Chains A and B, each alone.
Chain A
Amino acid sequence: MRIATFDFSARCIWAVFLRHRDVFKSSIWSGIIPPFFEPLFYLFAMGYGIGAMVSDVQGMSYAQFIAPSLIAWAALVAPGVECLVGTLARLVVQRSFEAIIATPVSIEDVVAAEALYGAAKGVVHAIAVGIVIAAFGLLPSWWSLMIIFVVIFGGIMIGAFTLVYTSFMPNFTPIDFWFSLVLTPLLMFSDTFFPITNLPPWGQTIAEFTPFYHMVRPSRMFAMGTIDWSVIAVDFAWIAGYFVVFFSLAVYLFKRRLVK
């Protein structure tokens, strides 16, 4: 299928995705256990530790406030790590992509499969974290199940966003910039651990433009069951818009890098 000048094949995307899944299966526990525990530590440290000193936030307990953020977190961190560390390993160390694109698979397919795999990892992590958070009674509404869609679509978008950065990386050296200067601030300032209304007006404006903000906001609405569909529609539109921009850019950059 050709979209604009891009050439996609669902079958080929799936074939590359399955390759990643096969590798994931062979190291399944390290792929599930660490990302399962990490947000839990945050829940205890922040939700209950710091939370004990914090009055209610927007009418919820502090633990309740951050619980949906911890699920959405999976859709930021899983693709944010996989599409950087994993993709870069395949790109420069293992040179897997050079072997793959000698088959009928196109570079568009490879990039799509990377983003999809990052998102899929996010879904696995989000489900694990979600189950525990629900057990703590922090997902009061059945609408919470809808968070999975935030994780899927948001995860793919974050995957594409990450791939844009990855395409510029000559090796693993500039990796710290991504974690310290991109992932961490996104995690901190997107309505995750405190309402962005606490930021100065300029900070608030910036926060509203960040991709992760539009994943946390609908997650919290679904978790609480206080749904404003017009807000959710806006958030999904942002996610879709960001996806189109980042994904197109990532494909362009990977083509430039892989085909001389």
Chain B
Amino acid sequence: MVTACGLSKAFGDVHAVRGIDLDIRPGEVYGFLGPNGAGKSTIMKMIYAMVRPDAGTLDVAGIDVIAEPRRAKARLGVVPQDNNLDPDLTVRQNLTVYARYYGIPKKIAHRRADELLEFMQLTEKRDVVIYDLSGGMQRRLVLIRGLINEPQVLILDEPTTGLDPQARQHVWQRIRSLKRRGLTILITTHYMDEAAHLCDRLSIMDRGRILVTGTPRDLIDSLPAAEVVEAHTDNPEQALRAGSHLGEGEQYGDGVYWFVAGGAIDLDPIVKAGVAQVARRPANLEDVFLQLTGRDLGE
């Protein structure tokens, strides 16, 4: 549904994307995970023709985006990282005026706008101006604006950033229901749990490159063990020594990590060594990233 080959983009001497390949299947929810500046948004923008690739090929639903941006964009729903709603218009007008850019007849546009407002529980706000919406409501409106043309492919650039936990749950639920309708969804995020929850497959990126691609399960299963003991302290070397009975630990920044198989584990020696923050938890995507890059995924 979305295929790319050797896609690259540099802004001056910043190499934002360095030769990535993609093969995203119809109906798939595909995630991009990576720290700030990894190049996630740049990939998204190349797909909706806001950024022109320096090299490589890029197809959406069989249409060459570079040669025929107009046709490709007609099939895409775009939710950019920034809420670029039209502040001169009301909530509902933001949808109906946007529908006009796609050439959707007025009647259908109005019906869809009302359905979508309902879908995202914004019906009450339909005649409000954008400035009077909270950040989270604006985000939800941008989300449904991306659906007004009934796209085949939906691009979500950090859809839940700035949402409270409840709203995030709500949006996740909506994304899953869109997936059930067969929509292909590309999503970038900084949240492990979001990626693990929503994505059929995901790519972990850093510095313009894709490091690994796979299902969340496969990526986590590729780790040395299913569980992790994680400690944070001012004196990581000491913690490493105190936990030597757990095997060889790994240190990244102020964090120390041991991959451990199931079964009983004694954390006392580490606690006794004065490490206040220590816990055992299931391995997650963050650990995959740490293993690959030695860096934190979040920031």
Contact = CB atoms under 8 A, between A and B. Distances in A.
Interface of A: 7, 9, 11-12, 15-16, 18-19, 22-23, 26, 94-96, 98-106, 258-260
A225 B23 CA distance: 69
Contacts of A95: 82, 84
B34 to A, nearest CB: 19
B84 A96 contact: yes
Contact of A23 (B11, B74, B89, B100): B89
Interface residues of B, number: 30
Contacts of B93: 22
* Residue of A11, A15, A26 with highest tally of chain B CB at under 10 A: A15
Interface stretch (B45-53, B179-187, B197-205): B45-53
B52 A102 contact: no
12 contacts: A11-B103, A15-B101, A19-B100, A22-B97, A95-B82, A99-B98, A102-B50, A102-B78, A104-B73, A104-B74, A105-B101, A260-B45
Contacts of A18: 97, 100
A101 B149 CA distance: 14
Interface of B: 11, 45, 48-52, 69-71, 73-74, 76, 78, 80, 82, 84-89, 93, 97-98, 100-103, 149
Contacts of A100: 101
Contacts, number: 74
Contacts of A23: 88-89
Nearest to B11: A260
Kindly name the residue among B74, B101, B149 whose own CB sees the greatest number of chain A CB atoms within 10 A.
Answer: B101
Given A19-B100, A104-B74, A99 B51 contact: no
Contacts of A105: 101
Nearest to B94: A99
Contacts of B88: 23, 26, 94, 96
A23 to B, nearest CB: 4
A246 to B, nearest CB: 24
Contacts of B80: 98-99, 102
A104 B52 contact: no
Q: Residue among B11, B49, B87 with the most chain A CB within 10 A?
A: B87
A12 B69 CA distance: 14
Contacts of B98: 99, 103
B102 A101 contact: no
